[in-house]
């Protein structure tokens, strides 16, 4: 996608304000952060974005020197920003970055997005490892959804995709010898998941969900970290535009089914009227999580699935239950 097209898409945030100065360096501002009442140039915005990643890394003890970090990439803006910033930090932080991509098997979407991920990896001189639902589940997501409709099974596309992706990413991370798995969940994603759990009264989901998942040192489960937790979704897109990173803007055709989409629209509307609301939801989530030491005990007890041998908190993991219903 050309610069012109990208800038046109993000013109609401990327208005070139010739008369406005950057609030940090007095250079020419190219974007505005409403919640902070702050205009910034591209360079100062990039630094702010990267400082937030470093802060998340420090506060939550995510990546350490010597770590091999598998980075889940999709071709989208969040994971493009994540890979770029972690790759940039890797020399100084003395860790290694290895991009991994999950091919869900969604015709017309995955192939285009994968090309963007490959383009970025090539630019950074990194080898991209690809794993697929076809390998893991014996079928692409398109076929699974056809089966669901034929058999009138009661799961959603994102429900099944979430279960398979987690497993795929974990196996891919192990395959590349990773000690950590970094995923591109941003502040919007965390705030949305927190609200979705609240709206469903899903206390277990709340307990399971965190900025760092798993204790580390578990044989089958690669500890999962979310270094973008302090950056908003639109900031990930802006970071990609400012740093000229290739990414795919198209949406997954199944995303219309998602409950998450409704929660996202709600949060966006609230943020527009009350800038800073998303960060407030995020802070509420983090404050509540910090008061829950019992979660660690739950994770400690997690064992392995009796069917596939992968990490699971129940006798049969959710992926195996799902595959059984498709057999
Ligand atoms: Fe999977 Fe849903 Fe994301 Fe599509 S929108 S890739 S179905 S989780
Ligand atoms: Zn299993």
Tell me the pLDDT of the chain averaged across its residues: 90
Q: Whose CA is nearest to atom 2 of ligand 1?
A: 158
Q: Which atom of ligand 1 is nearest to the CA of 257?
A: 2
Task: Quote the pLDDT of residue 258.
Answer: 75
Model confidence pLDDT, tens digit, residues 198-209 = 999 999 889 889
Mean local confidence (pLDDT), 66-88: 98
Number of domains observed in the structure of the chain: 1
Q: What is the CATH number of the domain that holds 194?
A: 3.40.50.620
Reported as a pLDDT band with limits 50, 70 and 90, residue 287 is: very high
223: left (phi over 0), alpha (psi -120 to 50) or beta: beta
What percent of the chain lies above the pLDDT cut of 70?
90
- N-term to C-term CA, the chain: 41
121 assigned to some structural domain: yes
Nearest to 183 by CA among 277, 280, 62, 279: 62
114-128, 213-227, 239-253: lowest mean pLDDT where?
213-227
Reported as a pLDDT band with limits 50, 70 and 90, residue 5 is: low
Task: Quote the pLDDT of residue 301.
Answer: 56
Q: Phi then psi for 149, rounded to 5 degrees?
A: -65, -40
Q: Whose CA is nearest to atom 3 of ligand 1?
A: 158
Mean local confidence (pLDDT), 222-239: 97
Q: Is 90 exposed, middle or buried (0-12, 13-18, 19+ CB in 10 A)?
A: middle
Tokens of 283: 């802070």
Ligand 1 and 254: CB distance under 6 A: yes
Reported as a pLDDT band with limits 50, 70 and 90, residue 18 is: low
Which ligand has its closest atom nearest to the C-alpha of 320? 2
Q: Whose CA is nearest to atom 7 of ligand 1?
A: 158
pLDDT over threshold 70, residue 16: no
pLDDT over threshold 90, residue 272: yes
Question: What is the CA(314)–ligand 2 centre distance, in A?
Answer: 9
Question: What is the CA(235)–ligand 2 centre distance, in A?
Answer: 37
Task: Quote the pLDDT of residue 302.
Answer: 66
Residue 316's domain comprises 46-326
Q: Which atom of ligand 1 is nearest to the CA of 161?
A: 1
3-class DSSP assignment, residue 33: strand
3-class DSSP assignment, residue 72: strand
Reported as a pLDDT band with limits 50, 70 and 90, residue 3 is: very low
Reported as a pLDDT band with limits 50, 70 and 90, residue 312 is: confident
Q: Which atom of ligand 1 is nearest to the CA of 158?
A: 2
How many other C-beta atoms lie within 10 A of the C-beta of residue 6?
Answer: 19
Which residue of 75, 77, 157 sits with most ligand 1 atoms within 8 Å of its CB, as the best mutation to test the pocket? 157
22 assigned to some structural domain: no
Reported as a pLDDT band with limits 50, 70 and 90, residue 216 is: low
Ligand 1 and 162: CB distance under 6 A: yes
pLDDT over threshold 80, residue 75: yes
Q: Which atom of ligand 1 is nearest to the CA of 157?
A: 7
Residue scoring higher pLDDT (81 or 13):
81
pLDDT over threshold 50, residue 1: no
Reported as a pLDDT band with limits 50, 70 and 90, residue 12 is: low
Which ligand has its closest atom nearest to the C-alpha of 163? 1
How far is it, in rounded angstroms, from Cα 120 to Cα 225? Answer: 21
HSE-up (13 A, CA, CB side) for residue 322: 26
What sections of the chain are H helices per DSSP? 3-9, 42-59, 77-93, 110-124, 133-137, 141-151, 157-175, 187-199, 203-208, 233-242, 259-273, 277-290, 294-301, 318-326
DSSP 8-state code for residue 140: -
Residue with tokens 């995709």: 161
How far is it, in rounded angstroms, from Cα 285 to Cα 83? Answer: 25
Task: Quote the pLDDT of residue 257.
Answer: 63
How far is it, in rounded angstroms, from Cα 95 to Cα 97? Answer: 7
What percent of the chain lies above the pLDDT cut of 90?
70
Ligand 1 and 164: CB distance under 6 A: no
The number of angstroms, rounded, from the C-alpha of 267 to the middle of its chain's C-alpha atoms is 18
32 assigned to some structural domain: no
35 assigned to some structural domain: no
214 assigned to some structural domain: yes
Which residue of 192, 258, 260, 262 sits with most ligand 1 atoms within 8 Å of its CB, as the best mutation to test the pocket? 258
CB 95 within 8 A of CB 177: no
Q: Which atom of ligand 1 is nearest to the CA of 252?
A: 4
41 assigned to some structural domain: no
Ligand 1 and 74: CB distance under 6 A: no
Which residue of 101, 117, 255, 264 sits with most ligand 1 atoms within 8 Å of its CB, as the best mutation to test the pocket? 255
Enumerate long-range contacts of 206-212, CB under 8 Å, 24 or more apart: 206/288, 207/292, 207/294, 207/295, 207/298, 208/295, 208/298, 208/313, 210/289, 210/295, 211/56, 211/60, 211/286, 211/289, 212/60, 212/61, 212/62
pTM of the model: 0.90
Ligand 1 and 69: CB distance under 6 A: no
107 assigned to some structural domain: yes
Query: Taken in order 243, 249, 254, 258, is the CA torsion positive or negative?
Result: positive
Residue scoring higher pLDDT (2 or 99):
99
Ligand 1 and 169: CB distance under 6 A: no
20 assigned to some structural domain: no
Q: Among 114-128, 150-164, 302-316, name the most confident range.
A: 114-128
The number of angstroms, rounded, from the C-alpha of 224 to the middle of its chain's C-alpha atoms is 11
Ligand 1 and 163: CB distance under 6 A: no
């Amino acid at each position: 996608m050309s610069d012109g097209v990208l800038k046109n898409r993000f013109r609401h945030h990327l208005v070139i304000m010739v008369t406005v100065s950057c609030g940090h360096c007095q250079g020419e501002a190219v974007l505005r952060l409403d919640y902070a009442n702050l205009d910034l140039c591209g360079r100062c915005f990039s630094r702010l974005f990267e400082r937030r990643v470093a802060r998340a890394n420090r506060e939550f003890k995510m990546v350490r020197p010597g770590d091999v970090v598998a980075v889940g990439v999709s071709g989208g803006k969040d994971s493009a920003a994540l890979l770029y910033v972690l790759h940039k930090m890797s020399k100084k932080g003395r860790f290694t970055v290895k991009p991994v991509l999950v091919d869900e098997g969604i015709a017309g979407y995955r192939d285009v997005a994968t090309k963007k991920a490959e383009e970025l990896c090539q630019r950074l001189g990194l080898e991209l490892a690809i794993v697929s639902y076809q390998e893991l589940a014996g079928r692409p997501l398109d076929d699974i959804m056809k089966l669901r409709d034929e058999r009138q099974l009661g799961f959603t596309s994102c429900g099944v995709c979430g279960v398979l992706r987690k497993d795929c990413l974990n196996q891919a991370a192990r395959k590349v010898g990773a000690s950590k798995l970094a995923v591109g969940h941003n502040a919007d994603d965390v705030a949305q998941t927190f609200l979705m759990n609240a709206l469903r009264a899903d206390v277990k989901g709340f307990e399971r969900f965190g900025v760092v998942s798993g204790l580390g040192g578990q044989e089958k489960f690669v500890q999962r970290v979310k270094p973008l937790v302090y950056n908003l979704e639109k900031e990930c897109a802006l970071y990609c535009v400012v740093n000229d990173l290739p990414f795919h803007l198209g949406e997954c055709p199944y995303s219309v089914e998602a409950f998450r989409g409704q929660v996202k629209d709600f949060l966006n509307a609230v943020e527009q009227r009350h800038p800073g609301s998303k960060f407030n939801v995020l802070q509420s989530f983090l404050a509540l999580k910090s008061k829950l030491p019992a979660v660690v005990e739950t994770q400690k007890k997690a064992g392995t699935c009796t069917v596939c041998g992968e990490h699971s908190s129940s006798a049969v993991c959710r992926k195996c239950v799902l595959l059984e219903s498709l057999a």
